[in-house]
Structure 1
């Protein structure tokens, strides 16, 4: 009697073939999904490296600008110490302000270019 029960629940060959085909399709779809997810993760990692490189460029440039600006301020202070009169102080101040304004404008322009380049590099599709 037990044997009769198992015979009743046997899956027909056609249904088994359909189920196997569906399983194979699902497996292939899942494998494609995984490959796509891995590709996306790799792309995100690459973009992260690009963003880190851009941030490093920005910080390196910012430090260089700070060093240059501090050096200019120290030079200005030293020149002020050697000023002979108020006329010298006014001339030195005027030269310092003009020089720093020019320098800051150049630095801002360069920093803008670096930031734009970093943003564009991060947005580029990786192949």
Structure 2
């Protein structure tokens, strides 16, 4: 059998190395904890963003549906008009209604987008 070569490290060096390893492990554990929290927060933000985008999309679709319905209603009224004056009145009423609707929908959409942006910045508050 081969003789074992003595390998002596002073006790102070061992203690220092042991302490360094413990500190490195503690720093790594803290880093991993912070990383896990960051990932969880980004996942929460992504879910909140998806939910908010879904809400905005639904509202946009509702506006689209209402606008198309108003257009069909307008077309039906035009088809039933008997005079040029009646055509003009129907056109005027439709334009006035569409301007009011557009203003209302723009305001509502801006609020919905603002809420969506706010909910992404502050998850958990809706």
Match of 1:114 in 2: 112
Match of 1:75 in 2: 73
Structure 1 counterpart of 2:58: 60
Q: TM-score, normalised by structure 2?
A: 0.92
The answer for the alignment partner of 2:85 in structure 1 is 87
Q: What is the match of residue 45 of structure 2? A: 47
Could you list the runs of 5+ residues in structure 1 that have no partner in the other structure? none
Aligned-CA RMSD value: 1.4
Unaligned segments of structure 2, at least 5 residues: none
> How many residues are aligned here?
123
CA contact (8 A) 2:48 2:123 kept: no
Which structure dedicates a bigger proportion of its chain to helix?
1
Q: Give me the whole-angstrom Cα distance separating, in 2, the residues matched to 1:19 and 1:49.
A: 45
For normalisation by structure 1, the TM-score amounts to 0.92
